[in-house]
Amino acid sequence: MAAIITSGATPRREPRRTVALQVRVFGLDADGKPVNCECSTVDISAHGARLAGPQHWRTGEIIGIRHGSEKGRFRIIWVGPNGTHAESQIGLQAVEISRHFWGVNMPQFPGTPTSTATPSRIAGITDSTPKPGRLNASSTAMPYADTRRHSRLRCNGGAKVILSSVTHWGTVIDLSAGGCYIECPSTYPVGQVVYLKLGVDDLNFESDAVIRVSHPGMGMGFEFMRPTAIQRKNLEDYCAELARDPNRLRR
């Protein structure tokens, strides 16, 4: 894995490319409060990145990053010192990303593979060091992407994840007649059953759901369980309309 270093330190183990890419960052800040913000990369490598814009992070924290349709998890290994030109920057090391996460050609040393990272949203990574304020830092993912029976559709809507009397807010980023993926900094383990309330465009949907994949600090993939006949029909009709006209969403 590459490390973000300051000048005068040991040379980096892999080359970096200076490029500004817009990303969305999810996680818990140094006070354990949820963060959902847009940032820009300063430079990137096959296994790391440097971001400008985020504030109040701490080293060692695992955060989620979305770049386009790709989602991944990174560990903060460096925080820019206060009062320096790097004050608003953080250095990241990839924990779980796909081979094409950045979507650009990366410089490589001769003989270096493009990536050995696990494809995101398929294999879970267990973070053995729990962080304050996190509901559950472990992830034991099922082969989520390979077992889908319904095509996922990109969307953008609000979500409530409810367990007992605790409610967490999130963002629905893809949806199908059988399940959805919700970006949410507070996560539960795989297998947990919760109650979901979704609002996407003109669709309002409620159902029990079981967590099929969990990415701590980033989000969860759900399979709907026992929706009512009316709820199921509304969902299927909406997904059919969205498949025919993806631009119908009011963003």
pLDDT tens figures, 162-210: 999 898 988 888 899 999 999 888 889 999 999 999 988 888 999 999 9
DSSP secondary-structure letter at 162? E
| pTM check: above 0.75 | no
Domains of the chain, with CATH numbers?
17-96 (2.40.10.220), 145-245 (2.40.10.220)
The amino acid occupying position 157 is G
Q: Which two tokens stand for residue 165?
A: 């009397």
- Least confident interval from 62-66, 70-74, 106-110, 145-149: 145-149
Cα distances from 18 to residues 45, 84, 119, 179, 237, in angstroms, run: 9, 20, 24, 38, 45
Indicate whether 121 pLDDT > 80.
Answer: no
Residues 94-125, buried b or exposed e (16+ Cβ, 10 A)?
bbbbbeebbeeebeeeeeeeebebbbbbebbb
The amino acid occupying position 67 is H
